[in-house]
Structure 1
Amino acid sequence: MKKIIVCLLFLLPLKLQALKIAALMPSHAEIICSIGMCGDLIAVGSYCDWPKELESKPKAGDYFKPDLEKLYSLKPDLVFLPVSLNSTAASDLKKIGLKVIEIEPEKNIGDICFTAKKIASYAGRDREAEKFCLKLNLEISKFKPKKRKKIFYEIDSGFWTAGGESFLSDVLSKAGGRNIFEARKENYFKVSWETVIKENPDIIISNYSKPEYFYSLPLADKVSAVKNKKVFLLEKNHRDILVRPGPRIPRAVKKLSEMIDE
């Protein structure tokens, strides 16, 4: 009987040891905290500022240029990074012996759950990830816009915007908008003002450019958004929740829907 009990004990799931994790992308850090792993973070990126618990965490550069010396000294078990064709961050970290988990950029809101589940799978937090996804999907399902207005979203100065391969197109759609460049199968790219005029958006939203800037551009009076004074500059707190595909995306959808309906 004693042998049987011992054998059964071996079949029980072992309690996983806490991992030492580094997350250099703000959205990854926010997701990690949302699935109960904030205490496992020993380093975060320089732009990781939410939730408040992250403010006291050691900063280790960012996801394009990590602080290799800092990370090597901290020796995390895992470093989470976004897949990037324009950065050597992952290969640089691997060269100093760190285990890097690369995560594909989110193309829609549903991919936020994929990211959460992938992160959770390395720490035995699958149940927490499921709860996170249920909550996220429930909050997003509350938004049911009846009309869709054409939107130009300038994510960075110089007419940088998002295409159909970016989760931002999905966010705009859920809020009652339609990204005027959603047909382009790219994530982020630069366009010309002439192209924006041709698409004639109903609303212009910018992360950095003030409405007055758009009002002063050539042929601005030909654009519906300008004629109807529907040009908005996002405040930093609203900008952050919009560009980070994480737990605060429902707040971003709510804010956008208010701007669209204004």
Structure 2
Amino acid sequence: MSWALLAAPAAQAHAVRDQQGRTVEMARVPQRIVSLLPSATESLCALGACSRLVGVDAFSNHPPEIAALPRLGSVSAPHFEAIVRLKPDVVLMSHSPPLMARLAQFGIAVVVLDAQDLAGIRAQWQVLDSLLQQQRGDDLFARLQAELGRIAAGMRQLPARRVYFEIDATPYAAGPASFIGELLAALGASNIVAPAQGAFARLTPEYVVRQNPQLIIHTAETSARDLAQRPGWAATDAVREGMICSLGRADTDLVSRPGPRLAEAAAVLARCLQLAPR
């Protein structure tokens, strides 16, 4: 018998096209994965590959299975040496040319994920399926859509409200083309952000006052007191009638991550829309 037959087969090269349209080549199907995006961490686990994670960003806090993994900072402030020491096959992250270039110097592959709307979430799961050489993403997305439809059906009797969803005090808002905006629309809300302003928009405080929202939903990055103290905002229907829905940290995480828990996020938004004026 020849030694060639006894030798272990070499790992096959693997390539995937990420959400930036880049073809990313790897020496093998990834077994050691670093995620620098909470949504990617959650998505990878929902697709059955949690065990392949060897490190995550500082903000990844779900599911519980990742609790003991090394924390590696963030895309904007990475713990670079720690990432390199983990010898990942691939790093999942948002687009950051400086970090991507540094990782490339060490031969570490990068897959860029960028899901801004529901279609982008489905595409993200398809990229991860390709990365993992499996086919689970479409089924996961179908289950998500079914659950979103069920939640939306329970909201049909509520009147439509003009809603302002504030991400931070810039003010930075979720527009109708974002996954947050799509959830709000499915639940019957009318977004004060114009479609032309993009998925996520930086607004002027005066713009919000002119649009006169009937409901303000804000994340844990701001407070209801701050909103009421902004010039002119006390005259808006939302502030005057106490129609402010304040999200805590856990709900902020749910609603702000384009991942597998979006049905739970929709339930949070539905509770906000069910508020009654005081």
Q: What interval of TM-score do these two structures reach, taking the shorter chain for normalisation?
A: 0.7 to 0.9
Give the C-alpha shift of residue 17 in structure 1: 6.3
Does residue 1:100 correspond to 2:110, yes or no? yes
Whether the 8 Å contact between 2:38 and 2:59 is mirrored in structure 1 is yes
Q: Please, which of 76, 86, 97 is the counterpart of residue 88 of structure 2? A: 76
| 1:212-237 Cα distance to aligned partner (Å, 9 max, x none) | 22222322343111121101221111
Runs of 4 or more above 6 Å deviation: none
1:258 has 2:271 as partner: yes
- TM-score, normalization by structure 1: 0.86
Following the alignment from structure 2 to structure 1, what is the Cα–Cα distance between the partners of residues 199 and 106? 31
Counterpart of 1:140 (choices 148, 151, 163) is: 148
Matches within 5 A, 1:17-166: 19-84=31-96, 88-103=98-113, 105-126=114-135, 128-142=136-150, 143-144=152-153, 145-146=155-156, 147-166=159-178
- How does 1:142-221 map onto structure 2 within 5 Å? 142=150, 143-144=152-153, 145-146=155-156, 147-207=159-219, 208-221=221-234
Query: In the alignment, is the contact (CA less than 8 A) between 2:29 and 2:131 conserved in 1?
Result: no
Q: Do the aligned residues in 2 keep the contact of 1:150 with 1:201 (CA within 8 Å)?
A: yes
Query: How far did residue 18 of structure 1 move?
Result: 6.2
- Amino acid of the residue matched to residue 39 of structure 2? S
Distance 1:18 1:79 in 2: 10
Using the TM superposition, name which of 167-176 and 185-194 deviates more.
185-194
Tell me the SS of whatever aligns to 1:130.
Answer: helix
Which secondary structure state, in structure 2, belongs to the residue aligned with residue 88 of structure 1? helix
Question: CA, structure 1 residues 171+64, in 2 after alignment: closer, same or farther (shift >3 Å)?
Answer: farther
The structure-2 alpha-carbon separation of the partners of 1:148 and 1:90, relative to structure 1 and needing over 3 Å to count, comes to farther
How much has 1:164 moved relative to structure 2? 4.2
Q: Secondary structure at the match of 1:125?
A: coil
Listed one character per residue, the Cα deviations across residues 11-54 of structure 1 (whole Å, up to 9, x for unaligned) are xxxxx966111111000000000010000001111111100111
Larger mean CA deviation between 177-186 and 70-79 belongs to: 177-186
**1:238 shift after superposition:** 0.5
Give the length in aligned residue pairs.
243
Deviation at 1:79, TM superposition (A): 0.9
Distance 2:226 2:242 in 1: 12
For structure 2, the residue ranges without an aligned partner over 5 or more in a row are 1-27
Note if contact 1:45-1:62 (Cα within 8 Å) is conserved in structure 2: yes
- How far the C-alpha of 1:165 sits from its partner, in A, is 4.4
Q: Which amino acid aligns with 2:112?
A: E
Shift of 1:193: 1.6
1:249 aligns with 2:262: yes
State percent identity of aligned pairs. Answer: 24
TM-score, structure 2 length as denominator? 0.81
Q: What does the per-residue CA deviation read over 1:153-174, in whole Å, with 9 as the maximum and x for residues that have no partner?
A: 1101231222344322112212
Q: Tell me by how many angstroms 1:251 deviates.
A: 0.8
Q: Are the structure 2 counterparts of residues 164 and 48 from structure 1 closer, same or farther at C-alpha, using a change threshold of 3 Å?
A: same
Moved more, 199-208 or 238-247: 199-208
Distance across 1 between alignment mates of 2:141 and 2:202: 33
The answer to which of 179-188 and 201-210 deviates more is: 179-188
> Given residue 133 of structure 1, which amino acid in structure 2 is its aligned partner?
F
Distance 1:214 1:71 in 2: 40
